[in-house]
Structure 1
């Protein structure tokens, strides 16, 4: 078994740049220091689940995303007397491609997010060990790294009594995304919050949940080929400049997408989802068969289809589960016959809860 790697949280001896200290200078002779007190663990073990996500949703590049029910990662965090106080160790990784993931928490999405939460909470009196169950394949376009980060952040926060806000949990998880693929929250925000989320601003962070009507039916047809599309490579394919006509078009379609979500208009949602003229045209040719898969989905009855996140998963939307499975079959066939890629499919509903604690 591989040796666990530990990370030592900063000690209180150094004040500079530590999140636990907020220093406000009132005048030259008076300094007020507010110190966030270290919370006690409220239990010894917490297990948390964080759902998969579909980012971008066509024209919403880097500012729109949603959570998908039934797929995701699980992180368990426990107080471990064998781990030095203030340290965190990754003890076990299982599920999809465990040998491809580092047990060094500084290079693991779950570890990075857990470290950030420990910093925010000023944890230095207990040591923690973390185990990760990867339910999502790597490089799939389903927010695999975000789900690991979100589950870890929520688990550590729950262990110490839920002291952090949703915004702080997203910020902690963003540290992980920044290191892996870039500073964007369209995966981590919906993974933590559930539902549809619009990122109104990154500086300061502004999160805007979009409520899809509970009485409306919405199904995501997710077809993932056996092909890895690293986020960094897919981002490198993006244009550095865009023309005004495409800018106006994508803005109008993103607005239509938001309106469709709020109204529960799945047909309108699908139409807007399929309309991106900036990002999808650059990425689709890099995924064998993607353009044929999109055509097959729509011909089979989907209201719309696009690339999920950076790909290679293709996502179509429909309002009926049985029709969703019919669409999935045609998408799988297109990947195989045009892209020469085997693919698997899931037909899932919207996850409205987001990352949460689950029974141990």
Structure 2
């Protein structure tokens, strides 16, 4: 089957244009944007249903604001979201419905998420994937299982979007190129936290990813040596940090010296990932002099948490994404429990916040299919 690639200027349907409210959205007028799409004949389904998992992500990584991120997961795959996409002949062709939203570890969270596919991150990504695939003769219902909290800085919306896009694509034979799969997820991400791919790209691709540009769209996966035993201590307090509020705190101007210093730290971080130098990765992550200083005061106890992590032997510590999760880097998992305990204590003592710690490893796979159901 021939796939033709085309880039065009279009007015997107209004259901792809949103304003943030966690994973719910509201209409607003949409400007003309450049969209890359894959056009094929109406594809036949490969399965009756597909279940896909997408991991949590750590965006920014300190000095890499809006252009660096990595995927993290635990052995049980509980640190992420799962979506099951199923062919649904009861729906109008070419449409998506959300059959259920559950959150086993946080039952109340499911009640906060809409089952309207136009107002849910997974639904928006599923619609975008169907459009990119050119599906016209089949409809899809999705079941979303949330493993990540909202507003945590762990890429909750990106995990939902990545799992949905991956599941829908696999349902029709995994036809979408890598970038188109990321762009489908990005349609959802831009509704929640703005048009940046530092969460959705690693959620889909796994590992470390550098977002080089959007026009043209260019992602650079950063392959680290297999011997790199990088682990992350993720400590999440009972405190939400809305992305909109955290972005509003950013400085409008930065001094040239600050720009140069942060650029050098981001470059060092990229070099350290490629070389497998855990020490420099941690040091560079801890060296953001622009974004972290403005956001840390908005997270009660963050400065003390960072200090506690470093004193306990972490190689580096910073804010994960927009926060409030604090992420510390260690080599191997031996120190993970102690570093996490010290960070939790710091949140309690300095921030008066209850927090939970999870030790995760670098997830090199990204969104993946975990089960399928054959066509009858």
TM-score over 0.5 (shorter chain): yes
Query: Are residues 1:309 and 2:313 paired?
Result: no
Correspondence for 2:334: 322
**Runs (4+) of structure 1 moved beyond 3 Å?**
15-19
Query: Are residues 1:92 and 2:104 paired?
Result: no
Query: Are residues 1:52 and 2:52 paired?
Result: no
Helix, strand or coil: the match of 1:359?
strand
The structural deviation recorded for 1:325 is 1.0
Query: Are residues 1:69 and 2:73 paired?
Result: yes
Query: Are residues 1:152 and 2:160 paired?
Result: no
CA RMSD for the aligned pairs?
A: 1.5
Q: Give a deviation string over 1:288-332, Cα, whole Å, max 9, x none.
A: 000000000001111110000000000000113121111000000
Helix, strand or coil: the match of 1:332?
helix
Correspondence for 2:214: 202
Separation in structure 1 between the aligned mates of residue 212 and residue 94 of structure 2, nearest angstrom? 35
Q: Is the 8 A contact 2:39 2:134 kept in 1?
A: no
Map 1:2-151 to 2 at 5 A.
17=10, 36-70=40-74, 71-95=79-103, 96=106, 97-151=109-163
Correspondence for 1:214: 226
Separation in structure 1 between the aligned mates of residue 50 and residue 72 of structure 2, nearest angstrom? 22
**Quick one: structure 1 residues 289 and 214, their matched pair in 2 at CA, closer, same or farther if it must change by over 3 Å?**
same
Query: Are residues 1:190 and 2:202 paired?
Result: yes
How many residues are matched? 332
Query: Are residues 1:349 and 2:361 paired?
Result: yes
Helix, strand or coil: the match of 2:334?
helix
Tell me the TM-score normalized by structure 2: 0.86
Tell me the TM-score normalized by structure 1: 0.90
Q: Give a deviation string over 1:334-354, Cα, whole Å, max 9, x none.
A: 000110000001111100001
The structural deviation recorded for 1:36 is 2.3
Give the unaligned 5+ runs of structure 2. 1-7, 13-37
The structural deviation recorded for 1:17 is 4.0
Q: Give a deviation string over 1:235-273, Cα, whole Å, max 9, x none.
A: 111011111010000000001101111111111111000
Separation in structure 2 between the aligned mates of residue 340 and residue 278 of structure 1, nearest angstrom? 26
**Quick one: structure 1 residues 288 and 35, their matched pair in 2 at CA, closer, same or farther if it must change by over 3 Å?**
closer
Separation in structure 1 between the aligned mates of residue 131 and residue 138 of structure 2, nearest angstrom? 13
Separation in structure 1 between the aligned mates of residue 93 and residue 214 of structure 2, nearest angstrom? 33
Q: Is the 8 A contact 2:82 2:160 kept in 1?
A: yes
